[in-house]
Amino acid sequence: VADETKNYELEAATHKFARLNWSAVVKSPSYLTLLKSYPQLGQRIAAEMQNLRLKDEALGKQQ
């Protein structure tokens, strides 16, 4: 159960922070706290930011 909770927390944080810009993310106390528990969080957020940007570009081209 602990692993499921950790995965959920990591997913939720990734999606939340991916909607911000990096300067807001790195100044966020909750990001810094989570980073201690999840060293891979930064890479996950960066990948999610890129995914969101690609989706936005694809949607923009469709319109």
Domain parsing of the chain, residue ranges: 2-62
Can you tell me the mean pLDDT for 9-30? 93
pLDDT confidence tier of residue 30, bands split at 50, 70 and 90: very high
Q: Where are the alpha helices (DSSP H) in 1-63?
A: 2-18, 22-27, 29-37, 41-62
pLDDT at 6 over 80: yes
Average pLDDT across the chain, whole number: 92
Measured CA to CA, the distance from residue 45 to residue 17 in angstroms comes to: 7
- The predicted structure's pLDDT at residue 61: 83
- The predicted structure's pLDDT at residue 5: 86
